[in-house]
Amino acid sequence: MTTYNINEFFETIQGEGQYTGTASIFIRLQGCPVGCSWCDTKHTWPINEGVGIQLKDVLAKTDETEEWAAANAEELLSFIKNEGYRAKHVVITGGEPAMYDLNPLCNVLHENGYSTQIETSGTFEIKVPEKTWVTVSPKINMAGGYKVLESCMARANEIKHPIARQKHVEELEELIAVAPISDDALIYLQPISQKTSATKLAIETCKDKNWRLSVQVHKYIGIS
């Protein structure tokens, strides 16, 4: 039975991409070797065996820590129901969620009336059902040395690309040229750290290319 290492578990509003504004349950998985320099969840990178905790203790955490709890799909579903969460959309993020086979978890959630979404760097094979919404935030030339996979780009329902400078836009264009996306995939540009210059560049590029802007609404309104 597949188990998942859970670093965080919470209900909030999705603040990015196509599902912006949607009430969502976030499941943040532990483990990521990609090495993005601007990552705001670096505490999810290592999987240290000595910091395992109980699933109920994940909710009790008050700081960002490397502690994680192991749980399978049925246990996670039971946990969602017991907590009384009202949202019916589940976002599986990380860390790098595609390091795990997410089919068991997503299938159980679908069978119980939930929709699912994953947020991935595109550097690991994506193992999800067809119904799962796949957000690929392609991590190009990161410290970990992982390449963005063509299969991930082809599977993406949306591309969400963080940018700060023109070179980041060009990197995305170059990637799409060699790893095409589907005709109906959406492309979002997301300004890194909400900087004024990055936001202006994203807006102008979106107008020029008929792409979309993702502004991390949760940060503007001050929620997790």
Binding site, annotated residues: 13-15, 28, 32, 36, 38-41, 93, 95, 137-139
Binding residues for S-adenosyl-L-methionine: 38-40, 95, 137-139
Residues 163 and 176: their CA atoms lie apart, in Å, by 15
Binding residues for Mg(2+): 41
Residues 84 and 86: their CA atoms lie apart, in Å, by 6
Binding residues for [4Fe-4S] cluster: 32, 36, 39
Give me the DSSP letters along 88-152: -EEEEESS-GGGS--HHHHHHHHHTT-EEEEEE-S-S-----TTSEEEE----S-TT-PPPPHHH
Q: Is the dihedral of CA 85, 88, 90, 91 positive or negative?
A: negative
Residues 136 and 118: their CA atoms lie apart, in Å, by 8
Residues 125, 156 contacting (CB under 8 angstroms)? no
HSE of 196, CA atoms in CB hemisphere, 13 A = 0
Binding residues for substrate: 13-15, 28, 93
Q: What are phi and psi of 160, to 5 degrees?
A: -125, 105
SS3 74: helix
Burial letters 186-220, b for 16+ CB under 10 A, else e? bbbbbbbeeeeebbebbeebbeeeebbebbbeeee
